[in-house]
Amino acid sequence: METYKRELINVATKLKKNGLVQEGVNKGSISVRASDDAFIISPSKLDYSMLTGENLNVMKLDGTFISQPSPVSRDSYFHLGIYREYPHISAIIHTHSKYATALCLANRPIPFITVGMRFHCGGSVEIAPYAPPNSEQCNNYIIEHVKGKKAVLLQNHGLVCVGETLPDCYETTEFVESLSESYLHALLLGEVKILEGEEGRYANV
């Protein structure tokens, strides 16, 4: 349990240091599966720089808490849904990082445009339709859209990445944010080549 807590705190520190979360409470959430039936999750309204092994919440897959020293993030319930649905997923990061969120606001999925997307994202990055954050509908959209994928954009909201380990999930988060920046710039040039079929085709942008 302590090892996973340390891992979560390390990832939170890196997210902040590398500009993938903004200062303040509008930061998203991080979790890691700590056993077959429980996961550790960042609390609500606590800056990532303040996280310690003592203030992380630990939630069971039945929705109860093993320990709840801090206010519960409402994101906990979509994390719970993902862990229940997909036993191979052991880590989740949700951020409102700048470039990925820009694509969410424009309702732009990221088509398959670099080979690295196959490994880091499981292919193209789709956009889940909008529903009020933390509503049952929103949670269901997230759970549906991570099936077979490592990342999903949420329309008018932010980014959710999943992984088999927290370091892998962090890599995907960083990859998608960097790719979103490149894709946004490429869109400004007006034409983006999509890697589909043998010859590829040009996106109609």
Residues in touch with Zn ion (CB under 5 A): 158
- Rounded-to-integer distance, Cα 106 and Cα 164, Å: 30
Cβ-defined contacts of 123-128 (< 8 Å, 24+): 123/149, 125/149, 125/151, 125/152, 125/153, 125/176, 125/179, 126/152, 126/153, 127/103, 127/152, 127/153, 127/154, 127/155, 128/152, 128/153, 128/154, 128/155
Which residue number has the CB closest to Zn ion?
A: 158
Q: In whole angstroms, how close is the CB of 136 to Zn ion at the nearest point?
A: 15
Q: In whole angstroms, how close is the CB of 152 to Zn ion at the nearest point?
A: 12
Q: In whole angstroms, how close is the CB of 196 to Zn ion at the nearest point?
A: 31
- For Zn ion, which is the closer residue by CB, 158 or 163? 158
- For Zn ion, which is the closer residue by CB, 112 or 130? 130
Q: In whole angstroms, how close is the CB of 26 to Zn ion at the nearest point?
A: 8
- For Zn ion, which is the closer residue by CB, 81 or 158? 158
